[in-house]
Amino acid sequence: MADLFDEPSAGLNSPEFTVTELSGAIKRVIEGEFGHVRIRGEVGRVSRPRSGHVYLDLKDDRSVISGVIWKGVSARLETQPEEGMEVIATGRITTFGGQSKYQIVIEDIKPAGMGALMALLEKRKAALAAEGLFAPERKRPLPYLPEIIGVVTSPSGAVIRDILHRLRDRFPRKVLVWPVAVQGAKCAPEVARAIEGFNRLTPGGALPRPDLLIVARGGGSVEDLWGFNEEIVARAAAASQIPLISAVGHETDTTLIDFVSDRRAPTPTAAAELAVPVRHELMVWLDGLEARMRQALSQGLTRRGQRLRDVSRALPRPESLLDTPRQRLDVVATRLGPALTAGVQRRKVHLSEISGALRPMTLQRLIANDRRRLTALSQRLDPALARAIATQRERYETRAARLRPEPLSRDRQRKAEALAQLSARLNPALQRLVSARREKLNDRLRNFRPETLLQDRQRKESQYRQLSARLGEAGQRQMRDWRQRLEALDRLRETLSYKATLARGYAVVRGQTGVVTRAEEARRADALEIEFADGILPVNVSVAKPA
C-alpha cells in the first residue's frame, strides 16, 4: 500500500495524501478484508429512484449499514425488500468515496425465517383488506355451465391433467391453458399477465374469451407458494372481469389470491368440480322434469274432461228443447183450417154486398159523363200543347244563346291537365306504397320460422331448469361460504393470539386487578399468577417478600 503514495519530503514527520488517494486506499483495504458476507437485520428506509436501483438501510438495535441493490439484480430477486421486514442479505462490502461511508452491495436478499414471511403476508393482507378487495359484495357468482374455461397453471405438472380429467368425467368443456411458472421469481408476473391476457380476449373471437378462470397449483411450502402472495397477483385477480376460482396448494394452504378470488377451491380437482355440474345428474334431473311435465299435462287434460262432463250434465237434452215449439206448432196447425174457411166466407159476403150495388144503367151514366169530360179536355189540349211548345222553344233558344263552345273547351282542357297531373302524382305514390307493403310482407314471411318458436320455447324451458338448479344450490353455497369465512377468521385469530408468543419463551403476569406490566405493581401485589405456554403458575408474593 505504501507504493501508492509519494515519499515524504525532507523535514516533515508524516507523508501528505490527497483525499482521493486516502479514500481509494480505504476502499481496497475494506474490499480485501471483507469479501462476500451475509448480514441479518431489519430493513429500514427503502428508496426506489427512477434509475431502477434500490437503496436501503439494514439495522439492528445498535447499528445501521447502508445497502444498494443494482437495477439488474433487483429485477431478479424473488422477494422485494420492504420497510420493517427482517431479512438475510448476501453481498460484498465496499465504500462510497463521494460521501465517505461504507455500504453493502446486495446480490441476494431473503426473508429471515417463517416469522418474517408471515409478518409480511399479514401486512399485505391488512393493506388489501383496507382497500376493500376482500369484501364479499365484490365477489361474482360463477356461471352455471361455462362454455370455455381458462386455466392458468404449469403445462407440465399433474395439476392440469387432474383438472382436465375431472372436467371430462363431469361435463366436457372447452379449456384454454395459459402456461406460467408456478414457482420462483417469474411466477408472480407471469400469473398476473395470464389473468390480464384472458380478460383482454374478445368474446366470440378467433380465440374466444373464457367464461370462467381457474388459477391452480399443487401443494408446497410457504416459499414455493409465495408467488401467489405477491400484491401484483392479488390486484390482477381482483381486477378480473371474468369470475375466478383459486386452487393454489392443498386445503390447509392459504394465499392472498384466495381472499380476492370469487371462489376458493381446496384442491385443483375441487376447482374443476366447482366449475361444471355433473352431466349425468343434469340428464336425470331433466328426465324427471319431463316426466313431471307429462304427468301435469295428463292430469290437466283429465281434469278438464271431467269438468266438461260435469257441465254437460247440467244442460237439458236437445229433444226437451224442441217439445214446446212442436206442441205450439200442432195447436196452430189445428186452428189453420177453420180460420181459412171463415176468411173465405167473410170475403164472399163482402163481394156479394159490393156486387149488389152494380147496375147497367149506372155504368152507362158513368161512361157518358167520362166521355163528355174527355171531349172537353181534348178541345183544350191543342192550344195548351202549342203554348207549352212555344214556351219551351223560347227557353231553349235563350239557353242556346248563352252556351258557347270556347269556354267549355277551355274548361275541359284545364280539367284534363289537372287530371293528368293528379294521375302522374298518384301512380308513383301507389307503386311505392304497394312496393313497401309487399317488401314488408315478404320480410315477415322470410323471418317467420316454426323452428324459431320451438327454439324460443326450448330456451325458456332451459332457463327455467337452470334457475331451479341455482335456487337449489344457493343455500349450500351460502353455507360453504360461511364455513370458509369462519375457518379463515379462526386461523387469523390463532395467528394474532398471544399464545404463539408464549410458546417462544415469554410469560404473562396477572394480579388482582389484571395484567401486571411494571415491577412496582408486582411488589405491591399479595399474589400473582404467571401464565406460561403450558399452564398457569400461582405465586404468593407475601411469602416471597423478606421479613
Q: What is the DSSP string of 337-372?
A: HHHHHHHHHHHHHHHHHHHHT--HHHHHHHHHHHHH
Q: Which helix (H) or strand (E) holds 405?
A: helix 405-447
User: What pLDDT is stored for residue 472 in this prediction?
Assistant: 63
User: What pLDDT is stored for residue 222 in this prediction?
Assistant: 73
Share of the chain above pLDDT 70, in %: 88
pLDDT in tens, 93-104: 888 777 777 888
User: What pLDDT is stored for residue 1 in this prediction?
Assistant: 43
Question: Strand order in 174-179's β-sheet?
Answer: 174-179, 148-153, 212-217, 244-248, 263-264
- How far CA 51 is from CA of 57, 83, 93, in Å, comes to 18, 20, 22
Is a pLDDT exceeding 90 seen at residue 417? no
User: What pLDDT is stored for residue 4 in this prediction?
Assistant: 46
User: What pLDDT is stored for residue 178 in this prediction?
Assistant: 92
Q: Please report which confidence band the pLDDT of residue 448 belongs to, taking 50, 70 and 90 as the band edges.
A: low
Q: Please report which confidence band the pLDDT of residue 2 belongs to, taking 50, 70 and 90 as the band edges.
A: very low
Q: Please report which confidence band the pLDDT of residue 72 belongs to, taking 50, 70 and 90 as the band edges.
A: confident
User: What pLDDT is stored for residue 9 in this prediction?
Assistant: 53
User: What pLDDT is stored for residue 446 in this prediction?
Assistant: 66
pLDDT in tens, 488-502: 777 777 776 677 777
pLDDT in tens, 456-480: 667 777 776 777 677 667 767 777 7
Q: Please report which confidence band the pLDDT of residue 369 belongs to, taking 50, 70 and 90 as the band edges.
A: confident
Is a pLDDT exceeding 70 seen at residue 520? yes
* Residue listed under C-alpha cell 483495504: 29
Q: Please report which confidence band the pLDDT of residue 444 belongs to, taking 50, 70 and 90 as the band edges.
A: low
Q: Please report which confidence band the pLDDT of residue 241 belongs to, taking 50, 70 and 90 as the band edges.
A: very high
Instruction: For residue 484, count other CB atoms closer than 10 A to its CB.
Output: 14
Pick from 76, 77, 96: which is nearest to 88 by CA?
77
User: What pLDDT is stored for residue 24 in this prediction?
Assistant: 76
Q: How far apart are the first and last CA of the chain?
A: 70
Average pLDDT, the chain: 81
Residue pair 159/221 in contact by the 8 Å Cβ criterion? no
Is a pLDDT exceeding 80 seen at residue 224? no
Is a pLDDT exceeding 70 seen at residue 13? no
Compute the average pLDDT of residues 143-165.
90
CA distance 374 to 386: 19
Lowest-pLDDT range, 61-70, 140-149, 436-445? 436-445
Lowest-pLDDT range, 81-90, 179-188, 422-431? 422-431
Q: Please report which confidence band the pLDDT of residue 334 belongs to, taking 50, 70 and 90 as the band edges.
A: confident
pLDDT in tens, 507-516: 888 887 778 7
Q: Which of 184 and 176 is assigned the larger pLDDT?
A: 176
User: What pLDDT is stored for residue 460 in this prediction?
Assistant: 72
User: What pLDDT is stored for residue 326 in this prediction?
Assistant: 81
User: What pLDDT is stored for residue 19 in this prediction?
Assistant: 76
Instruction: For residue 489, count other CB atoms closer than 10 A to its CB.
Output: 10
Compute the average pLDDT of residues 341-364.
79
* Residue listed under C-alpha cell 398471544: 498
Total number of residues shown for the chain: 547
Query: Sign of the CA dihedral 438, 444, 449, 450?
Result: negative
User: What pLDDT is stored for residue 410 in this prediction?
Assistant: 80
Q: Please report which confidence band the pLDDT of residue 282 belongs to, taking 50, 70 and 90 as the band edges.
A: confident
User: What pLDDT is stored for residue 7 in this prediction?
Assistant: 53
Is a pLDDT exceeding 60 seen at residue 114? no
Compute the average pLDDT of residues 136-155.
90
User: Which residues, listed in sequence order, are joined to residue 210 by a DSSP beta bridge?
Assistant: none
Q: Which of 529 and 233 is assigned the larger pLDDT?
A: 233
